[in-house]
Structure 1
Amino acid sequence: MNILNWNVRGLMAPERHRMVKRHLEKVACDIIMFQETKCCTTDGERFVNHCRGWMGTFQNAEGPSGGLGILWNPNTINVSGVNKSKNWISCQIQSKLNTSSFLLWSIYGPSHTVEKTKLWEDLNQQIRQSGTKKFIVEGDFNEIMDLSEKNRGMSIISRDMLDFREFVQKIEAVDCIPSEGWFKWTNRRMGFTNITE
């Protein structure tokens, strides 16, 4: 099963809209998770209607940032039990091609410490209550596990980083290396002030 995770930074901007649709036609994915869609649920559903062969669900952005979406290929998977909050969408995934089944959380992490702590606690509780060891928690956490996941910027181990590590340990998750490597986010600045994570 192939899963693509994409901080799209505004799904409904016309050029981004076209780029995503072109990408959907090329990739062999079963699930595509979007963070920072910057759109409302209605716009997200309208977008799915223009994507031939895909189904999906969206969570509203709050103000000029945030927003989540999950698209899936209904020929290869079934999706059920969709739940949403401002920072996540969760659902049960069942493959139509084999017997694999798991819970999926698509995350767009908050930037403030208090909200991050609450998110980690809520997710930990949900995963424990699900009673399953088969789950994927993926997305843009707005946090890193280790300084090696950051290029430039402040090089200190923050309280937020330690809290995130603790969350990953509590849920007994494995930190997977992306197939296309690290440093997919940038602050879009030039020269030495450019930071990538």
Structure 2
Amino acid sequence: MKILVWNCQGLGNPGIVQFLKQLVASKSPSVVFLCDTRLNKRKAEDVRRRVNMSGNLVVEINEEGLGLMLLWTEVTQVSLLSYSKSHIDVEVSKDGVCFRFTGMYGTFHRSKKKEDWDLLDVLRTMSELPWLIGGDLNDILDLSEKEGGRRKPRVEMEEFNDAFLRNGLWDIKPDSGWFTWHSGINVENLVKERLDRFVASIAWIQLHGRGQVQSIHSSFSDHHYLLLDTEPCTGRGKRLVDQFRFENCWADEEACLETVKECWNDANSSTMNKLKAIGDKLYGWQKHKRALAMKRKNFLLEKIEKLLNETISEESARDLTASKKELKLLMDREEIVKPMFDFDITRSLRIKLKNLKLFVQIP
């Protein structure tokens, strides 16, 4: 089973919803907990439909909280135990395994931190099930979890540790990535902290082991998303058959336009053969462009991850800013890609005959 948690810092942008949809499709989590959604129930339901999840529980944005949402798949059974502005507590059942999951969003107000720890004390008494907690807890356990900025008072870290100890909760450290949040773009104000995490009871760890936790950067939020997999597998799944799809953003590509011109100006070919030739040539071009974009995106993600986990310097701060900007441009371009049609000749011919604007522009 996979569980994904993320402080998304708002789901009002269509781009971030599209990213979440792709994330759910690629990672296949059974349960998704999102905090700082900034949505009401109606808009949260729209998000649920768009990301193709079966069920959801929503804590709306209001004057007391920034909004929470829990999503789950059709084959996962979820029963609500309790909720507040800062948590959603549920019983999760799948494949005969039952445990308790609490999605939590800790306050960033130091004066209200005691409310979070008191909440843990109360929640512990409400169920005997194996217990997993995940989310943005907005605090650190020790000085290794922060770099830059004001030094954290030891007494505050001790309070955080004590809350876990008295409730029998153990920190599950990530297998990749360490700091989960960063702020600032210059070396003078760049701060990195491990604010997001999974913690679990001994009973949960005995049931599932520690599993595998990935901490992964996203260009849409200052927070990494965390993916916990209770049954990590290194094997490769089946690869989907690649299909040709014409994409709107290609109209701005000079190479694409030249390919279309070359095929369309072939006086010896029929309209159908011209369309087929365009499809055949753009298929290879499409694969090459996608491969280059994916390679660059993966390179930037790895580079950003490395920069976030190394000692801050003026050079690394500039490099981080530039890399994030480039990644954001790549991601934005990926989000606006919309498949217009599968390149089935008979169907595409009907579509093209109805809309010849592209070809009319060709001399």
TM-score, normalized by length of structure 1?
0.89
Q: Write the letter of the residue equivalent to 1:27.
A: K
The reply on whether 1:137 has 2:159 as its aligned counterpart is no
User: Which one of 176, 179, 186 corresponds to residue 182 of structure 2?
Assistant: 186
> What is the CA-CA distance between 1:47 and the residue it aligns to?
0.9
Distance 2:152 2:192 in 1: 15
Distance 1:117 1:4 in 2: 26
- Pairing 1:107-186 to 2, within 5 Å after superposition: 107-132=104-129, 134-186=130-182
CA shift, 1:65, in A, is 6.5
CA distance in 1, matches of 2:168, 2:140: 17
2:183 is paired with a residue of what secondary structure?
A: coil
Q: SS of 1:129's equivalent? A: coil
- For residues 51-85 of structure 1, what are the alpha-carbon distances to aligned partners after superposition, in whole Å with 9 as ceiling and x for unaligned? 2243211211235972111111122x200124220
Q: Which moved more, 1:14-23 or 1:154-163?
A: 154-163
Alpha carbon RMSD of aligned pairs, Å? 1.9
> Is this contact kept in 2: 1:189–1:195, CA < 8 A?
no
- Structure 1 residues 147 and 160, CA gap change in structure 2 (3 angstroms): same
1:84 — aligned with what? 83
Match of 2:338? Answer: none
For residue 348 of structure 2, what is the aligned residue in structure 1?
A: none
Gaps of 5+ in 1: none
For residues 156-183 of structure 1, what are the alpha-carbon distances to aligned partners after superposition, in whole Å with 9 as ceiling and x for unaligned?
3343322111111111111011243211
Could you tell me how far 1:115 is from its partner in structure 2? 2.2
Matched, 1:20 2:14: no
1:20-73 CA distances to partner (integer Å, 9 max, x unpaired)?
112111112111111111222321122102222432112112359721111111
Structure with the higher helix share, 1 or 2 = 2
Task: Give the 3-state SS of the residue equivalent to 1:101 in structure 2.
Answer: strand
Q: 1:103 aligns with which of 90, 100, 109?
A: 100
Aligned positions, number? 193
- In 1, the alpha carbon distance for the partners of 2:176 and 2:55 equals 25
Amino acid at match of 1:151: E
- Normalising by structure 2, we get a TM-score of 0.50
Measure how far apart 1:188 and its partner are. 3.9
Which AA in structure 2 matches 1:123?
L
CA distance in 1, matches of 2:176, 2:106: 21
Partner of 1:73: 73
1:97-136 C-alpha deviation (Å, 9 max, x unpaired) = 2x3211111111111234220121122122123233x101
- What's the secondary structure of 1:74's corresponding residue? coil
Aligned to 2:54: 54
| Percentage of matched positions with identical amino acids | 24
